[in-house]
Structure 1
Amino acid sequence: MSLLQVTYDRLGYTQSKNGTTMSNAWPHPRRGRGHRHKDQDRANREQAVEQKVKDPVPHGICMTMCPANELRQRKAQNRLHKFEMVPGTERDRLPRADVLCAVKEYSRPAAGKDSTRPSDLRPSSALLKTVCYLVDDIAASKTFQPWTEVYSFVFDRLRSVRQDMIIQRLSGPECVTMLEKSVRFLLYASYRLCGQPLQYFDPRINDTHLQETLSWLLECYREGKHQHQEAFQALSLLYNLGSFHTMQHALQLPERIRHSPAVQLALAVSRAHTEGNPVRFLRLAQRLDFMQVCALHRHLLSCRRDLLLLYSHGYNSHNCRYPLQRLSRLLFLKEPLAAELCQVHGVNISREWVIFSKNSFTESPSGDLQCRHMHEPVDDEKWNCNSDGIIHSCD
């Protein structure tokens, strides 16, 4: 072997027909380290893919209400909600974030965006803590105002919670508790914000999310016994009066649930609504608790209109006078509101008497009838209570 060949071998070169080429025997130290890093990254990616194949359902590891990465981004982009800011820094150019109050916001799935990273997902324990904070500390608080802004914040953050739950396919008692609190919040919002401008409250969007959450909750009830199942089965019946699917579901419930007082009362209200009996419907409505009335309230105005229409034909006489006080009890309204409702529908009021006439009755009032205004009933203590102790009364 020649001296030149020995030198080539020691330096790591190989002799080929076309000339001398560098061998991989002695790699460049910096270049070799880069290759090792690339190989390690490739191995990590392959391991992650293999892990996803073995367990396709991601599991969150973020134990705070808002992932650290999102909180940094929103703080830098000045996208913190005022409920998430450190008090006193709201007017700063970049307000400081309160880590204990910041909550992950909802973001739509986008192409190229990985929404399944464990560091961005919250496990069930962290999600339950988040829901309790949103409902008990924000929505039910008397210090956060206006409530339209409270609703907007809580609605968005609860939507993000459900998104994390769906990605991780959560189930079990903690999942049921989160869904129950979400349903109560959305029901209460539909009552409290009824009649608000669309820029503050859209009843259709609220109804869509309420129906989805309620459907998910009822599906979870199929998996086992839960403490508040009877109450929420009744709420579903009252909210979806006239729905064949809801009635069919209620009639197929286990006997112990179907014969519970709450479900039996809801079934009676549903039958009165189906039979077109507004008098019985409103009498039964007076036996409901506040949250049940929140579920029923969107049907009350049409039922009261039907009662006035029925009485306008039944008591159609110039010589007939009906006591306003008695009618207000039937309508389950205070006398001034009952008189206002009568006048809107063309029913004449003469002092404390009501004069019904089928010719003057107006089924579709031309004026702006405030639905929320007409939901105010007789019993102030039972109906006109604050949100504190209402939304989160199911624990």
Structure 2
Amino acid sequence: MERWQPRGRGRGRGRGRYSSSSFGQSNDSGPSKASNHARKTTTNRNDAEDLPNLIGTCPFMCPIEERTQRERLRDLAIFERLNGNPSKSSSTLAVKKFCRTISSKDLHNVDLRPLPVLQHTLNHLLTIFESKEHEHPFEAVHDFVFDRTRSIRQDLSMQNIITGHQAVNIYEQIVKFHIISQYKLRRNSSNSNALSPMHHLNMEQLTKTLTSLYHLYDTNRTSSFTNEAEFYSFYVLLHLDSNHQPTGESLSLWFKTLPFSIIKSKEMMFTRKLLRCFRFGNYKSFLHYVETEASCLQYYVLEPYICEIRAFGLGCLNHGGYKLNPYPLLDICKVLIMEECDVESFCKDCGLDTFVSDEGVKFMPTKQTSFCYPKGSQRYYPLVSNRLKKFYDEAFGEML
């Protein structure tokens, strides 16, 4: 069988395990150009050497000075307003905003939140994110939590908090937020042919947060983390359609940098199976493994690839069949794990015609020359799976 060349989609890329200098910059700067073997220290406004040794003492989710200023400027998000008043908030509602440019001379301990306060702030944000009671559009909820979680990461970085289970837990929760948001933003998009800028920004912050999380895993290598293997698997799933990292290093070399326990974990074994299936166009096994083994978060990361590999599989059935023997749609349903009505629509998306026999059976003629990959690659038909169905439903309920 001819080797399948995955079609590029311009997706955001993950990052490998970098030096401590890249960790300090990852929350506020663009994608790092460092590799695992190039441990160079760069000097910029966020360089750790330029920052004073700060230990946060702010007891609130938002420093009092910032909250007072934002009340005066009426710069309060809808979720921060006391009784809906755009110029009034409280210590239980206001959350520190992300600031892109911060001078080290202006930093004080009282402006930064200690680790317990940061965890409390994150719990508050995730409660808003999970809530079903508010009537605001998801994009508005995401925009608020998106900005405030960046501020949490910024406070952690400025205090150089890189050890301990609580710091790791915060980064893991923020990664989950970005993965779930990525899934919801795709589903909520009014235009299935184009993703919103918010979607691309979310992917960018997802990869940066993963970069920082992997650095924390390295720094705390003597400790064990229950979810470490699954979070490393996200990196592979984000690279299914790429033979190399953006730095030029191959994924096979990246695998060699991982601890043996991670390589042999069920999560990493699952992702390596998927990687082989995707690269060689084994669409049947790929869909089967996703349907039977993918975790909730892994499925959310994988969903954009499912349409593409289904289209590849449909193309194989079309080109490999006999012209005088059309393919029953019911058989295609089983191969692509789709509903029959969805298969008919998916065939049209791929430029293929279908027909109904005199007995009322639906078929797809083979050897059609009009096959093409769907233009709206983000359009998705759910996998027919009772196991995965709860993931579709849970995405809009309590997830974290």
Work out whether the TM-score is over 0.5.
Answer: yes
Counterpart of 1:333, as a letter, is M
2:24 counterpart residue number: none
- Runs of 4+ residues deviating >4 angstroms: 52-55, 112-115, 197-201
* Cα distance in 1 for residues equivalent to 2:195 and 2:263: 40
Whichever structure has more helix as a proportion of its residues is 1
SS of aligned partner of 1:202: helix
Partner residue in 1 for 2:6: none
| Mapped partners of 2:281, 2:49: distance in 1 | 56
Query: Does the CA contact (< 8 Å) of 1:309 and 1:361 recur in 2?
Result: no
Shift of 1:104: 0.6
- One-letter amino acid of the counterpart of residue 354, structure 1: F
**Cα distance, 1:201 vs structure 2:** 5.0
Q: Which runs of 5+ in 2 are unaligned?
A: 1-47, 246-250
The answer on 1:74 being equivalent to 2:70 is yes
The within-5 A match list for 1:8-47 is none
CA RMSD of superposed structures (Å):
2.6
> Whose Rg is larger?
1
Q: C-alpha displacement at 1:266, in angstroms?
A: 1.0
Matches within 5 A, 1:290-305: 290-305=296-311
The answer to whether the 8 Å contact 1:148/1:201 transfers is no
SS at match of 2:215: helix
Tell me how far apart the structure 2 counterparts of residues 178 and 365 of structure 1 sit (CA, whole Å). 38
Q: 1:278 to 1:63 in 2, by over 3 A?
A: same
CA distance in 2 between counterparts of 1:55 and 1:85 reads: 33
How much has 1:83 moved relative to structure 2?
0.6
Q: Normalising to structure 1: TM-score of the pair?
A: 0.77
| Separation in structure 2 between the aligned mates of residue 147 and residue 263 of structure 1, nearest angstrom | 32
Q: Which amino acid aligns with 1:187?
A: I
Q: Is the 8 A contact 1:291 1:390 kept in 2?
A: no
Could you list the runs of 5+ residues in structure 1 that have no partner in the other structure?
1-51
Q: Distance in 1 between matches of 2:75 and 2:104?
A: 19
Whole-angstrom distance in 2 between the partners of 1:182 and 1:54: 27
Distance in 2 separating the partners of 1:363 and 1:199: 21
2:374 & 2:230 partners in 1: Cα distance?
Answer: 35
Give the SS at the match of 1:175: helix
Q: Does 1:129 align with 2:129?
A: no
Q: Which residue of 2 aligns with 1:160?
A: 151
Query: 1:189 — aligned with what?
Result: 181
1:311 equivalent in alignment to 2:317: yes
Q: Aligned pair count?
A: 331
Pairwise mapping of residues 1-395 of structure 1 onto structure 2 (< 5 A)?
56-87=52-83, 90=84, 92=85, 94-109=86-101, 114=105, 116-135=107-126, 137-144=127-134, 145-172=136-163, 173-194=165-186, 196=189, 202-222=198-218, 223-224=220-221, 225-243=224-242, 244-245=244-245, 246-287=251-292, 288-317=294-323, 319-351=324-356, 352-365=361-374, 369=376, 371=378, 373-379=379-385, 381-387=389-395, 391-392=399-400
SS in 1 for 2:208: helix
Q: Residues 116-140 of structure 1: CA distance to partner in whole angstroms, max 9, x if unpaired?
A: 22111111111111112212x0111
Distance 1:285 1:115, change over 3 A: farther
Aligned identity (percent) is 25
Question: When the two structures are superposed, what TM-score results if normalisation uses the length of structure 2?
Answer: 0.76
Instruction: Supply the AA of the counterpart residue of 1:275.
Output: F
- Contact preservation (8 Å) 1:140, 1:387: no
Deviation at 1:324, TM superposition (A): 1.8
Task: Give the 3-state SS of the residue equivalent to 1:357 in structure 2.
Answer: coil
Please give the alpha-carbon distance, in whole angstroms, between the structure 1 residues aligned to 2:384 and 2:121.
Answer: 36
Q: Distance in 1 between matches of 2:206 and 2:129?
A: 16
**Matched residues in 2 for 1:388 and 1:305: separation?**
28
**1:237 and 1:247 in contact (8 A); partners too:** no
